[in-house]
Structure 1
């Protein structure tokens, strides 16, 4: 399997759990944000740019009891799933220009398999966060943390399609909270969200409801 050597892998994020202590401390006191948000950015207007967000769950992985969860590898089914979801994204014109991902092995392997189909994905700036692995297991915190991580690296001019790759339960919660509707994400499924806004900072607020365009589900 070819590795996506074009990815700019951020070593500081890959080796550390960003904000882990803060996240754990808030588990008991932070309720999940409400599903229904208050502001819709689904219609184009003067000075607004269409911004797209892909929330992709990692591909199917091997259930090996002798390997810690973080190091589980994707299965043969997972490889096919990753290839299929990449084909679907490419056919719909949703090619990411920025990637944020959990630093788990199965997440990285999912992206490597996708690169076999989406060659351009190999040249995309990618940031791996240990905290995106950790936060997905916590109640109601994933959406906020995705927004925090994204605002650290996103560029209003260069980045129009951002893909975040991670884990349930957090990814389903985040997709549901972004869109204001219940979203289910099977392995290698992707929620396609979009908004018109003047900046990423403007659209990455708790009060903003994104348009859920579609949920892509591999046939495997």
Structure 2
């Protein structure tokens, strides 16, 4: 079985308009939500083989909270610049080229791409918007290789987002 989890970065700050979009940090709500969601997923027994993050500050900071909650060093996070400003095809390409020994990989990135990717794997529903720090789990029980990870066998199994808990 192969599993992909998409985590949209936590809420970012717009307080310093001189910053490039790539360099925006998390705001107060983001600094609350990222550790909370990370600890919640860790408490569910989450044990991903790899964390792959956009190079944008807000995404990497979110990934760092997850790494800490999962007992991993931030240095273990794979930085992937193609996630920033990507489209669905780029994410699918990244998935199909993951290391075969990895069974569960978590991607940290951005909308609208992550919402669009989630909808490719939604069997009977539609996600209008993945909220900040939202998590979409996608499983393919038949995929042996990442190149096999595709609908209709790969489907969204779970969605979590902060407002479910606050």
TM-score by length of 2: 0.85
- Give the superposed CA RMSD: 2.0
Q: What's 1:4 paired with?
A: none
SS of the aligned residue for 2:12 comes to coil
Please name the residue that 2:155 is paired with. 211
Structure 1's unaligned 5+ residue stretches are: 1-49, 136-140
Q: Distance in 1 between matches of 2:144 and 2:98?
A: 17
Counterpart of 1:39 in structure 2 is: none
Q: Please name the residue that 2:40 is paired with.
A: 88
Q: Secondary structure at the match of 1:134?
A: coil
| CA apart distance, 1:209 | 4.5
Instruction: Give 1 or 2 for the bigger CA radius of gyration.
Output: 1
Query: Aligned pair in 2 of structure 1 residues 124, 162: CA closer, same or farther (>3 Å)?
Result: farther
Q: Does 1:178 align with 2:121?
A: yes
**Deviations 1:2-48 (Å, cap 9, x if unpaired)?**
xxxxxxxxxxxxxxxxxxxxxxxxxxxxxxxxxxxxxxxxxxxxxxx
Question: Structure 1 residue 51 and structure 2 residue 2: aligned?
Answer: yes
What SS class does the counterpart of residue 52 from structure 2 fall into? strand
Residues 100-152 of structure 1, C-alpha deviations (whole Å, 9 max, x = no match): 22110111111122233221x327853222221121xxxxx32x211212333
Q: Which residue of 1 aligns with 2:138?
A: 193
Q: What runs of 5+ residues in structure 2 fail to find an aligned partner?
A: none
SS in 2 for 1:99: strand
Partners of 1:193 and 1:93 lie apart in 2 by 16
Q: Which runs of 4+ in 1 moved over 6 A?
A: none
Instruction: Find the counterpart in structure 2 of residue 160 from structure 1.
Output: 103
Count of aligned positions: 160
